[in-house]
């Protein structure tokens, strides 16, 4: 049989890390001489990829020409939007990408919290003075029966004022996602956090393949003193609480700008703080480090795992009751001596710089698995 054609389902038109990751994957496969296409997810059919991603080599297909000789990749977020492709491509040639675990339709993933069973919060060889504890907070999922899924759907739709029709759609989506996940498909993980979820909850392994950050030329920038950036989408209320305790520090939200401008902002800041729950290996901490800005993170989601955010221990704050105090201390430490923080985090920046090499190696490994 001839080499298969690769199809990667994507919510075309969106400008988020997910669609870019999926476009990068198509680009990587095509660079290896295989046919590869983006294929629109059902809700988004007919929409064009965001213009920012024209830097990559990709084409869009509206259907799978030969399902028996195709490899299909679908994101975990909403498998039901790829129902047509999932109905035709054999399960052994289908891969689910766990790119943003807690955004999955499956409640087991939606409410997943990491622990030492997922992966260590500390670097190899480090012995903490107190045993690591799971992050605080979080909602517990219901069971997997149809009534349980209906109650979960009602809970979700109530968050945005949805009615019974929206809840019914959510219920069908969750049930379909679980059916697909438990079928004999294979998994890719964007983070060790995702791999840990697959192993711990689903009892199956996943190949780690992390998307590299996009590198752009930003030109010379002037460093600003006492400016701390944060992701306003994920943790504005947390930032407000910290700002009250550090009145001499300017907490500035990052978001809503073209990519190049956002990278200039990162490069000019004194510090980037990651306060949100990370459903995967987030790009912003990596981007900040790459452009020469220290990072301090709360250990939430993928941030819990040192393997996903390998910062020095003093720059990784456990997400436990009273986390604000050690976070304030960490911010003050960096703001008072940013150069010392940069030197302390040199190994993290080096890890970020070499991420494209790890990605290319993982793509090679994945294609070899997909061909067998």
CATH number for position 97: 3.40.50
The total number of structural domains that make up the chain:
2
Determine the structural domain holding residue 322 and report its residue range: 227-353
φ/ψ region of 304 (left if φ > 0, alpha if ψ in -120 to 50, else beta) reads alpha
DSSP 102: G
Q: 336-360, pLDDT tens digit by residue?
A: 999 999 999 999 999 999 999 999 9
DSSP-based three-state secondary structure for 358: helix
Q: Report phi then psi at 163, rounded to 5.
A: -100, -160
Percent residues over pLDDT 90 in the chain:
74
Average pLDDT, the chain: 91
CATH code, domain carrying 232: 3.40.50.2000
219 in a structural domain: no
Lowest mean pLDDT among 41-50, 148-157, 176-185, 294-303: 41-50
- Do 322 and 174 lie in one domain? The reply is no
DSSP-based three-state secondary structure for 260: helix
Whether residue 307 is predicted with pLDDT greater than 60 in this model: the reply is yes
- Do 170 and 198 lie in one domain? The reply is yes
Q: 63-78, pLDDT tens digit by residue?
A: 999 999 999 999 999 9
What's the rounded mean pLDDT across residues 28-51? 87
- Do 182 and 275 lie in one domain? The reply is no
* The pLDDT value given to residue 141: 56
- Do 338 and 307 lie in one domain? The reply is yes
- Do 10 and 86 lie in one domain? The reply is yes
- Do 172 and 232 lie in one domain? The reply is no
Separation between Cα atoms, residue 252 and residue 269, nearest integer Å: 9
Q: Which residues contact 155 (CB under 8 A, 6 or more apart)?
A: none
């Amino acid at each position: 049989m001839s080499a298969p054609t690769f199809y990667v389902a994507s919510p075309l038109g969106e400008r988020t890390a997910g669609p870019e990751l999926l476009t990068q994957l198509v680009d990587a496969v095509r660079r290896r001489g295989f046919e590869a296409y983006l294929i629109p997810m059902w809700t988004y059919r007919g929409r064009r990829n965001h213009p920012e991603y024209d830097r990559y080599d990709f084409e869009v297909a509206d259907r799978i020409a030969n399902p028996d000789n195709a490899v299909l990749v679908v994101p975990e977020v909403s498998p039901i939007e790829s129902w047509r492709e999932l109905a035709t491509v054999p399960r052994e040639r289908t891969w689910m990408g766990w790119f943003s675990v807690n955004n999955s339709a499956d409640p087991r993933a939606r409410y997943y919290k990491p622990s030492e069973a997922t992966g260590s919060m500390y670097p190899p060889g480090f012995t903490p003075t107190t045993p690591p504890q799971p992050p605080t907070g979080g909602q517990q999922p219901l069971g997997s029966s149809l009534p349980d899924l209906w109650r979960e759907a009602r809970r979700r739709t109530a968050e945005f004022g949805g009615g019974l029709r929206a809840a019914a759609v959510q219920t069908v989506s969750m049930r379909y996602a679980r059916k697909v996940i438990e079928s004999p498909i294979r998994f890719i993980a964007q983070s060790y956090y995702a791999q840990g979820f697959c192993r711990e909850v689903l009892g199956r392994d996943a190949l780690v393949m992390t998307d590299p950050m996009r590198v752009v030329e930003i030109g010379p920038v002037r460093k600003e003193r006492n400016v701390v950036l944060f992701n306003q989408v994920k943790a504005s209320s947390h930032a407000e609480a910290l700002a009250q305790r550090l009145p001499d520090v300017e907490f500035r939200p990052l978001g809503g700008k073209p990519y190049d401008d956002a990278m200039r902002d990162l490069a000019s800041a004194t510090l980037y703080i990651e306060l949100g729950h990370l459903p995967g290996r987030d790009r912003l901490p990596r981007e900040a480090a790459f452009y020469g800005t220290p990072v301090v993170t709360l250990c939430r989601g993928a941030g819990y795992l040192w393997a996903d955010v390998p910062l020095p221990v003093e720059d990784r704050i456990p997400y436990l009751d009273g986390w604000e105090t050690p976070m304030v201390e960490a911010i003050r430490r960096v703001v008072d001596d940013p150069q010392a923080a940069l030197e302390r985090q040199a190994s993290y920046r080096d890890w970020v710089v070499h991420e494209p090499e790890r990605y290319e190696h993982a793509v090679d490994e994945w294609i070899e698995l997909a061909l067998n």
